[in-house]
Structure 1
Amino acid sequence: MPQIIVLPHVELCPNGAVIEAKSGDTICDTLLDNGIEIEHACEKSCACTTCHVILRKGFDSLNPAEELEEDMLDKAWGLEPTSRLSCQAVVDDEDLIVEIPKYTINMVKE
């Protein structure tokens, strides 16, 4: 069973976390199921960027991003080459190291 190592985030996960993940689940669902309340303003429908994460390890093991996700990521704060929307990134069988960016752009609230 793969693990997701979440790097410390001041508000959501101050000490970081190591959690067991199920292959086939999204990173977002795995984080939420383990008490890490990552924002997901569009209810995981790939219509915002609030669940943006940066993969520090394991990026290539994820399912490829589709065009809609790529278009949404262009609007994300702190975009990096290994950025994904966690609601769209499906865990495979490799361990992941995930960083949740310090800021998010919530177009629903703004």
Structure 2
Amino acid sequence: MPVIKILPHAELCPQGDEIEAPAGTSLCEALVENGIAIEHACEMSCACTTCHVVVKSGYGSLGDPDEIEEDLLDKAWGLQPTSRLSCQAVLSDEDVTIEIPRYTINHARERH
């Protein structure tokens, strides 16, 4: 099973983490199933950007983003060339390293 290395995130996983998930699982599903509460306001239907992650290694193994995902990513906070919506990035047999951005655009859950 591939390993997902999550870089430290102040709120969601302060020490960072490493989890395993079967190939064919989306990054978002794997994170949530392993207790990392990444936001996914649209219930993983590729309709928002709250599950945005930056893939630090293993980007090519996740398949290509489709046009809908690419259009949504344009709205994500902290967009990088290797950004993906974790609900659309599906694991293959290769390990990946991800960073969860510090902020997300979620108007229903803004903290003021």
TM-score by length of 2: 0.95
Shift of 1:109: 4.5
Deviations 1:24-49 (A, max 9, x none): 00000000000000000011111110
- One-letter code aligned to 1:74: D
Pairing 1:78-97 to 2, within 5 Å after superposition = 78-97=78-97
Q: Please state if 1:55 is matched with 2:55.
A: yes
Match of residue 105 from structure 2: 105
Match of residue 39 from structure 1: 39
Q: SS of the residue aligned with 2:56?
A: strand
Match of residue 25 from structure 1: 25
Deviations 1:51-98 (A, max 9, x none): 000000000111110100000000000000000000000000100001
Cα distance in 1, alignment partners of residues 91 and 12 from structure 2: 21
Structure 1 outlier segments of 4+, above 2 Å: 107-110
Match of residue 69 from structure 1: 69
Pairing 1:2-21 to 2, within 5 Å after superposition = 2-21=2-21
- Equivalenced residues, count: 110
Identity across matched positions, percent: 64
- Unaligned 5+ residue runs, structure 2? none
- One-letter code aligned to 1:68: I
Q: SS of the residue aligned with 1:19?
A: strand
Shift of 1:13: 0.3
Indicate how the Cα distance of structure 1 residues 104 and 96 shifts in structure 2: closer, same or farther if over 3 A, else same: same
Q: SS of the residue aligned with 2:36?
A: coil
